[in-house]
């Protein structure tokens, strides 16, 4: 008994108290900002456009290796993923000092999200690589915007439902890429409406209200307003957020310059005005990104 009292008082040696912060009140400090960049709500927003993710880099294909390198570089530069709809509506849940990036994927290729025959996520696909990265870095979740076709989506019909469920669970957004991937500028108004309504209804059949669309080849129909609003068979249709192909970062949602019907995207490739070009411009201070206060 006495021995334990001695030990107890030794542990509480009052001489320790003043200098040892461990005896102070519990810390209420905020977490450190993601970067040292000054807050800048007027800075621009990087919206990346991916198509296929495969072994070898080529036209419209990002290699596995380069996709992983993109994630690493974005993360190290303080970018954190948001969806297109969160960006347009200025509801980007970002930590202090972070900049938003939107990873968009067109065409719902299987190489974007592939599953093995047992239903596990194939690591050789964009989502496989991203999920592994997100497990290591939980503040960079699999949260992108996928513009899908009725091709599964992502091939593998038997896993299509599960893939969409998982994407939604992780916070991703599902948007439209029309029904047949045709050139909308060469279609009549009637044909355009069928493409847009068909895709909207298809996505609704997956339990999702589509808000965003990327048109095939970034080409708009002759009657551009159809993208946003029309009526077919007594039902109203329309997309709120319309993506272009583009080649520059997008304006901040609070800059007064954002046009939700003409949202530019940057190609995720190493060529002219692609991802590397713009990230280099940000690194060298020539382009100011949006920075969360
Ligand atoms: Zn496409």
**Could you tell me the domains of the chain?**
2-283 (3.20.20.370)
Bridge partners of residue 281, in order along the sequence: none
Rounded distance from Cα 216 to ligand 1 centre (Å): 5
Rounded distance from Cα 50 to ligand 1 centre (Å): 10
Rounded distance from Cα 203 to ligand 1 centre (Å): 16
Rounded distance from Cα 34 to ligand 1 centre (Å): 34
Residue 99 has pLDDT above 80, yes or no: yes
Q: Residue 23 — very low, low, confident or very high, per pLDDT cuts 50/70/90?
A: low
pLDDT the model gives residue 176: 98
Q: For the purposes of burial, counting CB atoms within 10 Å of the CB of 239, is it exposed (0-12), middle (13-18) or buried (19 or more)?
A: buried
pLDDT the model gives residue 72: 98
R_g (Cα) of the chain, nearest Å: 24
Across the chain, what does the average pLDDT equal? 92
pLDDT the model gives residue 10: 43
pLDDT the model gives residue 7: 46
Residue 20 has pLDDT above 60, yes or no: no
Q: Closest by alpha carbon to 107, among 184, 202, 175, 26?
A: 175
pLDDT digits (tens, 9 = 90+) for 202-237: 999 999 999 999 999 999 999 999 999 999 999 999
Sign of the alpha-carbon torsion through 94, 243, 57, 132: positive
pLDDT the model gives residue 253: 97
123: which 2 tokens? 């690591």
pLDDT digits (tens, 9 = 90+) for 143-198: 999 999 999 999 999 999 999 999 999 999 999 999 999 999 999 999 999 999 99
Q: Residue 24 — very low, low, confident or very high, per pLDDT cuts 50/70/90?
A: low
pLDDT, average across residues 274-291: 97
Rounded distance from Cα 108 to ligand 1 centre (Å): 9
Rounded distance from Cα 75 to ligand 1 centre (Å): 27
Rounded distance from Cα 169 to ligand 1 centre (Å): 24
Lowest mean pLDDT among 9-18, 91-100, 150-159, 207-216: 9-18
Q: Residue 16 — very low, low, confident or very high, per pLDDT cuts 50/70/90?
A: very low
């Amino acid at each position: 008994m006495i021995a334990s009292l001695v030990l107890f008082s030794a542990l509480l040696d009052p001489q320790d108290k003043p200098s040892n912060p461990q005896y102070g009140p519990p810390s209420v400090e905020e977490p450190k900002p993601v970067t040292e960049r000054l807050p800048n709500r007027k800075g621009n927003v990087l919206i990346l456009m991916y198509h296929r993710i495969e072994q070898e880099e080529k036209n419209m294909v990002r290699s596995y290796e380069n996709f992983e390198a993109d994630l690493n570089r974005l993360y190290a530069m303080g970018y954190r993923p948001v969806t297109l709809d969160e960006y347009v509506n200025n509801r980007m849940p970002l930590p202090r000092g972070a900049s938003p990036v939107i990873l968009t994927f067109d065409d719902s290729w299987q190489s974007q999200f592939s599953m093995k025959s047992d239903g596990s996520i194939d690591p050789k696909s964009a989502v496989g690589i991203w999920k592994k990265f997100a497990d290591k870095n939980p503040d960079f979740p699999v949260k992108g915007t996928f513009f899908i076709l009725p091709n599964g989506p992502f091939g593998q019909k038997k896993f299509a439902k599960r893939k969409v469920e998982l994407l939604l669970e992780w916070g991703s957004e599902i948007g439209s890429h029309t029904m047949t991937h045709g050139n909308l500028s060469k279609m009549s108004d009637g044909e355009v409406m069928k493409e847009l309504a068909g895709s909207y209804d298809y996505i609704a059949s997956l339990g999702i209200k589509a808000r965003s669309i990327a048109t095939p080849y970034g080409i708009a129909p002759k009657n551009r307003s159809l993208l946003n609003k029309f009526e077919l068979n007594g039902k109203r249709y329309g997309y709120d957020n319309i993506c272009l192909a583009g080649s520059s970062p997008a304006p901040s949602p609070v800059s007064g310059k954002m046009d939700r019907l003409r949202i530019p995207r940057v190609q995720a490739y190493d060529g002219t005005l692609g991802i590397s070009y713009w990230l280099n411009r940000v690194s060298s201070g020539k382009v100011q990104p949006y920075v969360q206060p």
